[in-house]
Structure 1
Amino acid sequence: MSKVTGDAFNVNLLQRVFTYVKPYKRIFVWSVALTLILAALAPVRPFLVGYTLDQYILKADYNGLIKMSILALVLLLLQTVFQYLHTLLTNTLGQSVIRDLRINVFNHISRLRLKYFDRTPIGQLITRTVSDLETIADIFSEGLIAMIGDMLQVIVIVGVMIYIDWELTLVVLLPMPLLIIATRIFQRAIKKAFQEVRAEVSNLNTFLQEHISGIAIIQYFAREKQEYKKFEEINTRYRDANIRSNWYYSIFFPVVELISAMSLGLLIWYGSKNVLLKPLDVEPGVITAFIMYINMLFRPIRELADKFNTLQMGMVGADRIFSVLDTQETTANEGTLKPVHLNGHIQFNNVWFSYNQDTEVAEDEYALRNITFEVKAGQTVALVGATGAGKSSTINILNRFYEIQKGAVTIDDVDIKQYELGYLRSKIATVLQDVFLFSDTIFNNITLNNPDISLEEVIQAAKKVGAHEFIERLPGAYHYNVMERGATLSAGQAQLISFIRALVYKPAILVLDEATSSVDTETELMIQHAIENLMHGRTSIVIAHRLSTIQKADQIIVLDKGEIKEKGTHQELLKLNGYYKKLYELQFSSVGIAKD
């Protein structure tokens, strides 16, 4: 990962940003060309003013004055048009670059392993893909290209001033070392301030995302005042960081104005003395032109510092963005197999798995230990056990959300790593206990915007799982917007929609992860029929705390602390008088349900 250093800018980082400019080479070339043209035109107007004063106004040449006025007007119009085009093109370039970058960042984030999201706040990633990217756009619209234009303008103006009167130019530039020193001090101070601002923006976004998402918990436990105080502290730090950056500006700009005034004072003193003592040496038009040049000289120099810091902010943003893009925590997709048909014969062979994916794993860090079992095509296997036994870990590695350390997992006698990753996951439909619905229509939540799935297919699937009637009663039916996380639906309705989603993707393997644990008993009975339809003809893995839902499974596997303790059918496990029977008695004896 590249780092922004104390240097003016990191060349390698800039080069990497500019790789995204290649598709817009023509826009970039025109932007640079207009920058050069504007820099060349900048000193012309003061020169014309001074020349007109000496050659036409003082000599009372009215016709010449009219001609020069027309020429000045044409020049002003040209500068206006060129400046408009320059601003338009540089902003277009910047926005085009961050559009492509944002797409790349989102695409990369969507492919990262779940482990990355386990330790990375969502608000931080939002900051990276939104506000940090905006600072990169400023590199083009207000940063690098604008800096080049300002530097060229300074060079051209100084060159024209030397051409007109080199002695007067030297006098005017005497305070320039003071400006260079002040600018350097300002650059170092403001860079640190901007880094603090960006860090606090990230903290603010993270806090807001987490607390707005968990607002119900805050209200349930009456934590509004305490969380308000935390937010106030973060917001205060953000305010203070901004104030510090503004404080540096409030010092720097007056210093620039003071140095500019010093140059102007030296010009008036030296020029007036020469006009009075040696009238032919320095003409009034030259003095007038130099006054205009001083304003034009110090304005870009002052803005150079500001634009330099815009560039620095873009560099900080780019460094953060590329740190995300350089994250290698993606699942290796080296497999190429995409068979037309997948039977769904699953085998776990001596599988050892730990969520610690980066370093050597200690014995007590394994979430799964020597797991071996088989699910034949079309069979249903149930995983039971206490919380933390390893049930969810089993389906996580089947989907290759995490990689195993030892052993092998195969489907149809082929290691899952040999299947193309997208193909593998498309053949495994997982229905989770915590159903996630996007702020979109029911139809789009079911199809996930897959254009290959028609409304007719969705309706047929909804009828199979018994959800068609309640959907039809909603305003807009399948085009009803469920709002964020399906807030306008009950838990049972959301679960039924997740069943439809699984069914329309026609998976070979179905995983039900606590699919009925978040609904009441009446709703659970209602969706049992839906589950049976969903499981028919498919290899199914069912995870459930409620043992009533898995008594018909072809095989039940009892997990405890990552190890398989028992395997068999419901009746076989009861006869073992072991782990399963204890779980069974705890659940059913307490509610007076007769045992089989």
Structure 2
Amino acid sequence: MSQSLASSHSEQRVAEEKLSRKHVFKRLLGYTRPHWRGLSSAFLVLLLATGADLVGPILVQTFIDDYLTPGLFDWQAIVFLAALYICLHLTSVALTYYQSFSFQKIAQYIIQQLRMDVFSKVQHLGLSFFDRTPGGSLVSRITNDTEAIKELYISVLAIFLQSTVFLLGIFVAMFYLDTRLALFCLALLPLIIAVMSLYRRLSSQAYHITRQKLSLLNAKLNESLQGMGVIQAFRQQQRLRDEYYRITDEHYKAHLKTVRFNGLLLRPATDLIYLVAIVLVLGYFGHQSFLSGVEIGVVWAFVTYLDRFFEPVNMMMMRLSQLQQALVAGERVFGLLDETELAPGQQGTGNPVITSGHIEFRDVTFSYDGKVNVLKNISFEAKPGQTVALVGHTGSGKSSIVNLLLRFYPLKQGQILIDGVPLEHYKDEELRKKVGLVLQDPFLFVGDIRSNITLNDPSFSEQDVQAAARFVQADSFIEKLPRTYQEPVGERGATYSSGQRQLISYARTMVRNPKILVLDEATASVDTETEEAIQEALANMRQGRTTIAIAHRLSTIQEADLILVLHKGEIIERGTHQELLAKKGLYYKMYLLQHGINEKLSVQG
């Protein structure tokens, strides 16, 4: 009973895979629609090239049977046949080159479009998707999988199309020479199709595992490169090497299965069918020679056509592995393109504008996984020009509040309002323009300092950039650099100190003159002298702006208008610095721990 049930599930899974592969193939073919004119032209040229190639053996058969065998040497006719044969061959070569170049050119356009579609899709996915998807896996889909799909357009489709046309032409020529033998060769097609179908079914799962393991390899490699400092500091090289070896070994074994299938069911199987066909054809002509005369030219032409018949068959068989890889890769790529977990956007119509920056949270409850609530009934108000600080131990929910305010994650319970308008009613452009963000670990792009401040926005002038840098006191180190604002920035800004990177990101925020500031421990990575300068800049920045600040060092938020103390996703205390100290609750204990003073001492200011 259990075996029968398992078999049923297995058959259902195979049927679903077939439907999935059909769907994938149709979608891949859909990318050819914008290029139908070029493809039609290339196909027409392909027909002409195939015709020129197929006429050659008939010319040779005519020479053998009409001139060579009877000893009739009409040099004018023979020269004409030879010249025609050479012309047809050269024409076939030229036309084949043109159609091959046309197919490849169109294939490159298609892959370029597919890669742009995938890259654009990734740019619009929600952060929750990236929370659970390794970066290396995404890189593998965008690079390796699209590269595998490219072979479908460059090699597989062109070869299958060319081979199909060639096979049809060969059958036409065979029926012209001998109907019975042509029917015999036609009977070989079901056998060849059966071998192809068997190969596709057996190799499908192996190729799927191979692509998955390659994705894991990229993910592990990406993780290792990102954490190289930690790996070397804690001497984790051997552990990472063992983990990487385990994945490469699994990839090797999966790939070895595909090699076995290729070695057994591709060229060897068709070669066997070819040898049997040759034996039967020669046996047929041998038997016919006892009954009646057999024209040598017909025998030569038929054997030649039979050889040419299996040439495209072998080419198609050899491309089956690329077809399988392309379909598996297409399934993974379209899985990414069909991802529905998009970044939250505007809901409804209208174009509200953030004018004063009045923020209000109303009974906000939030969960990342839909099971554990990381925020529970959060309610507070940040009036225009006020600074609201969020404090609490790690995991208390501070960053989650900021993530929701920035609309990085969808809000399902409660409401967030800015200037009395629900957050989801604002367009992305308005929200990103009016809400400035400074992270504790700033990210710099490859380029130069100026491009990292403006993010290549041409609306900012040189004066705007310099003014923003002066405002956050980043100009003091930038102007000492050899190229000042044109100083190169490498990957993640690795050649700059953490404090310098933070100052650049600070200038990036202030050049946009936001109405709302979101600061994630904005002074955590700067020295004491720089911190004092930034605190002075922060005081200026807060004028006329609503500020939400995540603070780990309580000394940086003592002047905040409102301090919210979070614990396990709830606000357990709220008030000013002095009010919270007077309550002698969690904030008071955190303050004492950070300042290393005795609880018995009175706390002033």
Instruction: Please give the TM-score of this superposition, normalised by the length of structure 2.
Output: 0.91
Q: Which moved more, 1:194-203 or 1:12-21?
A: 12-21
What is the CA distance between 1:412 and its match in structure 2? 0.6
Letter in 2 for 1:579: L
What is the CA distance between 1:120 and its match in structure 2? 0.8
SS of the counterpart of 2:479?
helix
SS of the counterpart of 1:507?
coil
Residue aligning to 2:310: 298
Answer yes or no: is 1:192 the counterpart of 2:205: yes
Answer yes or no: is 1:492 the counterpart of 2:505: no
Residue aligning to 1:323: 335
| 1:293-348 alpha-carbon deviations (Å, 9 max, x no partner) | 12211011122223344233222222111111211111243244444552111111
Residue aligning to 2:65: 54
| Matches of 1:527 and 1:57, distance apart in 2 | 99
* Alpha carbons 1:51, 1:285 under 8 Å: kept: yes
* Alpha carbons 1:143, 1:307 under 8 Å: kept: yes
SS of the counterpart of 2:558?
coil
Letter in 2 for 1:546: R
Match of 1:288 among 296, 300, 305: 300
Residue aligning to 1:310: 322
Letter in 2 for 1:392: S
Letter in 2 for 1:324: L
Residue aligning to 1:385: 392
SS of the counterpart of 1:384?
strand
| Matches of 2:284 and 2:368, distance apart in 1 | 76
| Matches of 2:479 and 2:525, distance apart in 1 | 24
Residue aligning to 1:23: 34
What is the CA distance between 1:410 and its match in structure 2? 0.5
* Alpha carbons 1:13, 1:319 under 8 Å: kept: yes
Letter in 1 for 2:332: R
| Matches of 1:337 and 1:174, distance apart in 2 | 67
Match of 1:421 among 419, 428, 453: 428
Match of 2:117 among 100, 104, 107: 104
- Give the direction of change, closer, same or farther, for the CA distance of 1:18–1:185 in structure 2 (3 Å limit): closer
Match of 1:215 among 228, 231, 236: 228
Matches within 5 A, 1:189-588: 189-251=202-264, 252-272=266-286, 274-275=288-289, 278-279=292-293, 282-330=294-342, 331-339=344-352, 342-357=355-370, 361=371, 365-588=372-595
Structure 2 gaps of 5+ residues are: 1-12
| Matches of 1:391 and 1:235, distance apart in 2 | 40
| 1:408-464 alpha-carbon deviations (Å, 9 max, x no partner) | 111011111111123212221111111111222222222222222233321221122
| 1:204-252 alpha-carbon deviations (Å, 9 max, x no partner) | 1111111111111111110111211111121122222223222222223
* Alpha carbons 1:168, 1:267 under 8 Å: kept: yes
| Matches of 1:302 and 1:443, distance apart in 2 | 58
What is the CA distance between 1:6 and its match in structure 2? 5.5
- Give the direction of change, closer, same or farther, for the CA distance of 1:533–1:91 in structure 2 (3 Å limit): farther
| Matches of 1:149 and 1:155, distance apart in 2 | 10
* Alpha carbons 1:383, 1:543 under 8 Å: kept: yes
* Alpha carbons 2:438, 2:520 under 8 Å: kept: yes
What is the CA distance between 1:171 and its match in structure 2? 5.4
Letter in 2 for 1:219: Q
SS of the counterpart of 2:524?
coil
* Alpha carbons 2:53, 2:89 under 8 Å: kept: no
SS of the counterpart of 1:388?
coil
| Matches of 1:324 and 1:210, distance apart in 2 | 21
* Alpha carbons 1:513, 1:543 under 8 Å: kept: yes
SS of the counterpart of 1:130?
helix
What is the CA distance between 1:575 and its match in structure 2? 1.8
* Alpha carbons 1:172, 1:267 under 8 Å: kept: no
Residue aligning to 1:36: 47
| 1:128-162 alpha-carbon deviations (Å, 9 max, x no partner) | 11111122222222223431331232122122102
Q: Which moved more, 1:385-394 or 1:562-571?
A: 562-571
What is the CA distance between 1:268 and its match in structure 2? 3.2
| Matches of 2:192 and 2:27, distance apart in 1 | 32
SS of the counterpart of 1:473?
coil
Residue aligning to 1:77: 90
* Number of equivalent positions: 587
* Alpha carbons 2:446, 2:490 under 8 Å: kept: yes
SS of the counterpart of 2:518?
strand
SS of the counterpart of 1:511?
strand
Residue aligning to 1:133: 146
Letter in 2 for 1:79: S
Structure 1 gaps of 5+ residues are: none
Q: Which moved more, 1:133-142 or 1:203-212?
A: 133-142
Letter in 1 for 2:267: F
| Matches of 1:538 and 1:488, distance apart in 2 | 33
Q: Which moved more, 1:405-414 or 1:49-58?
A: 49-58
* Alpha carbons 1:133, 1:318 under 8 Å: kept: yes
What is the CA distance between 1:290 and its match in structure 2? 1.6
* Alpha carbons 1:347, 1:373 under 8 Å: kept: yes
Q: Percent identity?
A: 38
SS of the counterpart of 2:488?
coil
| 1:145-193 alpha-carbon deviations (Å, 9 max, x no partner) | 4313312321221221022112343555676665444333323223233
